Amino acid sequence: MRIRESIYLVGVVDSEIRNFHGYEVPIGTTYNSYLVIDDEVTLVDGVQADFATEQIDNIKKIIGDRPIDNFIINHVEPDHSGSIPLIAATYPNLKAFGTNNALREIEAYYPGTKLNFEVVRAGDKLETSDHTFEFIPAPMVHWPDSMSTYVPEKKVLFSNDIFGQHIGDGSRFDHELDRDKLLERAASYYANIVLPFGMQVLRVFSALEDLDIEVALPSHGVILEDALPDFIESYKRWANGEVNEAKASIVYDTMWGTTAKLALMIRDEYKERGLDVELLNLGTIHYSDAMARLLESKYIAVGSPTLNNQMLPSVAAFLTYFKGLKPKNRVARAFGSFGWSGESIKYVRAVLEDELKLEMEDDLSVKWNVDSEQA
Ligand code: FEO
């Protein structure tokens, strides 16, 4: 598919995937890859291994038997690198470009793959007859190897994971989607993939500041034209750790309904304080969905009953995930019900207070049932 003069989309749609390394993706995703054609053929990014043949077919539909000259590898996570061995075997004379970390990871992931690889650094460029490819390392957005590539002649940024959205419904451009829905997918992606790397995002943004970018071509989801300013504004806000002071999320699961009653009590308390509250029941939604929905909440309450001296597994899974994503600038609270021992509240608080160092409000716990005489 032609995107701009001399730029083509040769990636693939993975409409079936629903679990992306633990992140639930309800409408699938894409692994985007692009061809830039002038006197040379330059391929930007690979795709997931199961789709390697499809990517090669897509490339051949555009260039026929013409060889690929240059292969820019912006990121080595397998969703973007799985087709590297087949690309290298199909086009043995191409020259690959990526960061030093990318080279190390490719050697480790794909031993025996022969690539003529040039390590690039910030400020390095690849010049073809009509295009300049400026390499912008973006370490930890998302992996140590990550980078973006800017082409000034087209005002295009191949942003890779930055600005990604897991959308595999066949949409290809931002204008095909309702803007709120698109931003919702972007927020979900940020909350589940990018959240721990706010400082690194800001560092990349300072490198992008002087660039004239009209179009972002991310490695997942739709191409960003009209929506790009909204994405940039949202990323700056999220990366700066800005949250909505008037929003609260209550994440919980329940055994026999008592922890759910406590969740309602906390909801009423939050409402009395003028907060906009959302209940997120892990018995009905996936922890990654909860993560997406609480991205901008200043107040977060997490509740679990005690089961066999532990938290409920659903809450423990959420907290493991939440902890890894390192949310900051929140006011948290632990709550839960129990029958005799009551460890769950202590374990919930330990993650929120001791590990994440969040400001805490008082615990809320109850024995057996709300209003129980034995409580
Ligand atoms: Fe889409 Fe970090 O890979």
- pLDDT tens per residue, range 259-269: 999 999 999 99
List all residues 6 or more positions away from 295 whose beta carbon is below 8 Å from its beta carbon. Answer: 187, 190, 191, 195, 238
107-146 burial code (b ≥16 CB/10 A, e <16): eeebeebebebeebeeeeebebeebebbbbbbbbbbbebb
Q: Taking the CB of residue 362, how many other CB atoms lie within 10 A of it? A: 8
What confidence tens digit (pLDDT) does each residue in 288-339 have? Answer: 999 999 999 999 999 999 999 999 999 999 999 999 999 999 999 999 999 9
The residue that leads in pLDDT, 138 or 374, is 138
CA distance 119 to 244: 42
Please report which confidence band the pLDDT of residue 251 belongs to, taking 50, 70 and 90 as the band edges: very high
Q: Whose CA is nearest to atom 3 of ligand 1?
A: 77
> Contact, 344 vs 350, CB < 8 A?
no
Q: What's the number of CA atoms in the CB half-sphere (13 Å) around residue 278?
A: 17
CA distance 346 to 290: 21
Active-site option among 80, 131, 166, 220:
220
299 catalytic? Reply is: no
In the predicted model, what is the mean pLDDT of residues 118-145? Answer: 97
Is the distance from the beta carbon of residue 69 to the nearest atom of ligand 1 less than 6 Å?
no
Q: What is the largest CA-CA distance in the chain?
A: 82
CA distance 367 to 287: 26
189 catalytic? Reply is: yes
Q: How far is ligand 1, taken at its centre, from the CA of residue 335, in Å?
A: 35
Is the distance from the beta carbon of residue 349 to the nearest atom of ligand 1 less than 6 Å?
no
Identify the pLDDT of residue 375: 44
220 catalytic? Reply is: yes
Is the distance from the beta carbon of residue 161 to the nearest atom of ligand 1 less than 6 Å?
yes
- Looking at every residue in the chain, the average pLDDT score rounds to 97
What confidence tens digit (pLDDT) does each residue in 201-211 have? Answer: 999 999 998 99
Question: What percent helix, strand, coil does the chain show, rounded to 5?
Answer: 35, 25, 40
What confidence tens digit (pLDDT) does each residue in 182-191 have? Answer: 999 999 999 9
Alpha helices by DSSP H, the chain: 52-63, 78-81, 84-90, 100-109, 179-189, 198-208, 228-239, 258-272, 287-293, 313-324, 343-349
> Contact, 160 vs 208, CB < 8 A?
no
Q: Three-state SS for 329?
A: coil
pTM beyond 0.85, yes or no = yes
178 catalytic? Reply is: no
> Contact, 369 vs 375, CB < 8 A?
yes
CA distance 306 to 312: 7
Is the distance from the beta carbon of residue 174 to the nearest atom of ligand 1 less than 6 Å?
no
Please report which confidence band the pLDDT of residue 137 belongs to, taking 50, 70 and 90 as the band edges: very high
21 catalytic? Reply is: yes
In 3D, which of 100, 119, 126 has the Cα closest to residue 36?
Answer: 126
Active-site option among 80, 131, 142, 286:
142
Q: How far is ligand 1, taken at its centre, from the CA of residue 371, in Å?
A: 49
Q: How far is ligand 1, taken at its centre, from the CA of residue 116, in Å?
A: 23
Compute the C-alpha angle 178/183/187, nearest 5°: 150
Ligand 1: atom nearest CA of 143 is 2
CA distance 84 to 110: 8
Identify the pLDDT of residue 240: 96
Q: How far is ligand 1, taken at its centre, from the CA of residue 108, in Å?
A: 17
> Contact, 294 vs 280, CB < 8 A?
yes
> Contact, 45 vs 80, CB < 8 A?
yes
Answer yes or no: is pLDDT of 371 > 90: no
Identify the pLDDT of residue 373: 53
131 catalytic? Reply is: no
8-43 burial code (b ≥16 CB/10 A, e <16): bbbbbbbeebeebeebbbebbbbbbbbbbbeebbbb
Is the distance from the beta carbon of residue 160 to the nearest atom of ligand 1 less than 6 Å?
no
